[in-house]
Amino acid sequence: MSRDPLRRALALLDLDPRRVLYAVLAGVATLGSALALAALSAWLITRAWQMPPVLDLTVAVVAVRALGISRGLFRYLERLATHDAALRGTVSARENLYRRLATGDPAAPAGLRRGDLLARTGADVDALGDVVIRALVPMAVAVVMALTAVVGLALISPAAALVLAVALAVSGVLAPALAARSARLAEAAGAEAAARYSETAVLALDHAAELRVAGRLDEMVQRADRHDRDVIRATDRAAVPAAFADAATPLAIGASVLGALLIGITLYGPDGGTAGAMTPMALGILVLLPLSAFEATSALPAAAIALTRGRLASARIMELLDRSGTPQSGGADPVPEPVHLTASGLRTGWPGTPAPGSPVDLDLRPGSRTAVVGPSGAGKTTLLMTLAGLLPPIEGTVDIDGTPLREIDADQLRRKVGFFAEDAHLFDTSLLENLRVAHGGLTDEEAVAALEQVGLGDWVRSLPDGVHTTLDAGGRSVSGGQRRRILLARALVSPARVLLLDEPTEHLDADAAARVLHALLDRGGALVDVDRTVVVVTHHLPESLRADRIVTIDRSSDRGHDRSGDTDALR
């Protein structure tokens, strides 16, 4: 298997060779029309200079018009075919990427910041599609047209063809190499310097008061200024090869036309063609044909930049997939019913990090209600992700009726044990479809009932299209409290028998948060069926909460403990 990340990532596109071939053929037809148009125009100009009968030029005039029209037509068909292949490829790549992430090691995507994960599945996949549009097809077209131009010119003058071949090599090889070097410098050094500058500048802006008190504000500003100058120097370094790349093609065109002209004049002879080696029409073709030949290679510097960016994007994509590993079935065992989840000697954390605090023991019987409390950063969310099988335990075990999670079928486990993150995404689609993320067969009536349960009934009735109203810009179109309630409704409609809820009452006022927590954690609460297990992470517990157990996690000390039945103190 190839270790080149670009080749490996291109395999994710599942490109249809026929569609790519259609795009290349349309591109060849486009530039072929331009090449033929240049040659025919040169012949027509020089032949008309000899003032033959007008009828002798009629076919050539009509052909010039036809080639001019066909060039635009074939360009349109080439764009259609190229974008069709690339867009189908990016859709396939994202499908393959999501499938690999869903069936691989859950810690791979979970260990990335949301922005980083979004960039790798979004902009990086788009850069991969650009490789098809801006690199693969233009390169194939350029090779075919360059060979065609050189061979065609060789039929008139082998010496001129040699000059054209050298000039095309400069335009099609040297210029793209310089452009690629510029892109690498800009993407590598420039991006790193810009990241350092942004980090330092934001630190200075956000904490100016504290830094001034500590006497370090001027130092931080100077550091940001140094990083800013690093960005400018990186941009300047990248601009040098880019300038040479931009100059290479015009210089190659000039050298090719001048060389062809000198060779043609030499062969034509000082006596107006008595040497017999070159006709006036051939001389015109010899001079004008190279101008159209360079149209194919002029796209190659941009192709080299697209390849460079595509290779860097591919490295990020494949690094994520390599971390995800091979698809994991999670074992062949089904999830036992009812779901009795237990943890013994459990220490949680991200892979490769030391296990903080003391181990935690949990016994989540079917229908039990458990609250997990502790300060920010104590590891409450990590605990839920480990219980859901999204992260491996650093120490200890998590099992269902004595069967470790790693031996249980992963797809069934996700359906029975659901982790609902506090920062889960709301999509730019209807309210109903946002709930169907957790339950694909949800009806309108069921969606309305779930939203009523979480306190959004009046709001839904005020929407123009009810549950079919589109949430423009996703989560940015609703308030923080509405967003939390929608996410809670998504959890309630899911088929999971164990609900692991991370901060479901954040952004709610104290009274509303208390009512929701009572409804989730009190025995007989109205939100969740009595046979479903509920584990809620929260910072604040309301008075008189009647949860079955309260687990306190405090990583600042060496103790994490389970206050089972210790709810009287909260009343």
Residue type, 95: E
CA distance linking residue 431 with residue 548, whole number of Å: 33
pLDDT, residue 219, reads 85
CA distance linking residue 36 with residue 471, whole number of Å: 54
Per-domain boundaries in the chain: 5-324, 341-570
Mean pLDDT of all residues in 296-322? 85
Sheet containing 395-400: give its strands across. Answer: 360-364, 341-347, 395-400, 403-404
Q: Which residues contact 521 (CB under 8 A, 6 or more apart)?
A: 369, 370, 371, 534, 536, 545, 546, 547
CA distance linking residue 301 with residue 176, whole number of Å: 4
pLDDT, residue 227, reads 80
**pLDDT greater than 50 at residue 123:** yes
Mean pLDDT of all residues in 263-291? 68
pLDDT, residue 326, reads 56
Nearest to 549 by CA among 393, 377, 373: 373
Mean pLDDT of all residues in 39-57? 82
pLDDT band at 561; cut points 50, 70, 90: very low
pLDDT, residue 77, reads 93
Distances (CA, A) of 183 to 72, 141, 186: 31, 23, 5
Q: Within 13 Å and on the Cβ side, how many CA atoms surround 499?
A: 28
Which CATH code of 1.20.1090.10, 1.20.1560.10, 3.40.50.720, 3.40.630.10 fits the domain covering 5-324?
1.20.1560.10
Helix/strand/coil (H/E/C) assignment for every residue in 462-515: HCCCHHHCECCCHHHHCCHHHHHHHHHHHHHHCCCCEEEEECCCCCCCHHHHHH
CA distance linking residue 219 with residue 185, whole number of Å: 28
pLDDT band at 252; cut points 50, 70, 90: confident
Mean pLDDT of all residues in 1-9? 77
CA distance linking residue 282 with residue 267, whole number of Å: 11
pLDDT, residue 300, reads 87
Tens digits of per-residue pLDDT, 49-63? 778 887 778 888 888
276 compared with 84, residue with greater pLDDT: 84
| Helix/strand/coil for 562 | strand
**pLDDT greater than 50 at residue 274:** no
Q: For the chain, what percent of residues have pLDDT higher than 90?
A: 17
CA distance linking residue 184 with residue 313, whole number of Å: 12
Tens digits of per-residue pLDDT, 86-112? 999 999 999 888 888 777 766 667 666
For residue 552, which phi and psi values (nearest 5 degrees)? -105, 125
Nearest to 181 by CA among 193, 190, 194: 190
- Residue bearing tokens 């005020």: 462
CA distance linking residue 179 with residue 80, whole number of Å: 27
Tell me if 342 sits within 8 A of 365, measured CB to CB: no
pLDDT band at 292; cut points 50, 70, 90: confident
Mean pLDDT of all residues in 304-328? 80
Q: Is 327 exposed, middle or buried (0-12, 13-18, 19+ CB in 10 A)?
A: middle
Tens digits of per-residue pLDDT, 168-202? 888 888 888 888 877 776 666 555 666 677 667 77
**pLDDT greater than 80 at residue 453:** yes
The DSSP 8-state label assigned to residue 273 in this structure reads S
Residue type, 531: D
Q: Average pLDDT of the chain?
A: 81
pLDDT, residue 560, reads 43
Which stretches of 146-296 are assigned E, i.e. beta strand? Answer: none
Q: What is the second-level CATH architecture of the domain 341-570?
A: 3-Layer(aba) Sandwich (3.40)
Which stretches of 277-386 are assigned E, i.e. beta strand? Answer: 341-347, 360-364, 369-373
CA distance linking residue 143 with residue 147, whole number of Å: 6
Pick the range with the lowest mean pLDDT from 92-106, 330-344, 346-360. Answer: 346-360
Q: Within 13 Å and on the Cβ side, how many CA atoms surround 307?
A: 19
Provide the token pair at 489.
Answer: 């409704």
Nearest to 158 by CA among 277, 294, 13, 23: 277
Q: Is 216 exposed, middle or buried (0-12, 13-18, 19+ CB in 10 A)?
A: middle
pLDDT, residue 443, reads 92
pLDDT band at 432; cut points 50, 70, 90: very high
CA distance linking residue 345 with residue 365, whole number of Å: 17
- The reply to whether 341-570 shares the fold of 5-324 is no
Mean pLDDT of all residues in 459-484? 83
pLDDT band at 489; cut points 50, 70, 90: very high
pLDDT, residue 112, reads 64
**pLDDT greater than 60 at residue 327:** no
Omega prior to 359 cis, within 30 of 0: no
Mean pLDDT of all residues in 20-31? 92
**pLDDT greater than 70 at residue 1:** no
pLDDT band at 475; cut points 50, 70, 90: low
Provide the token pair at 497.
Answer: 């028998």
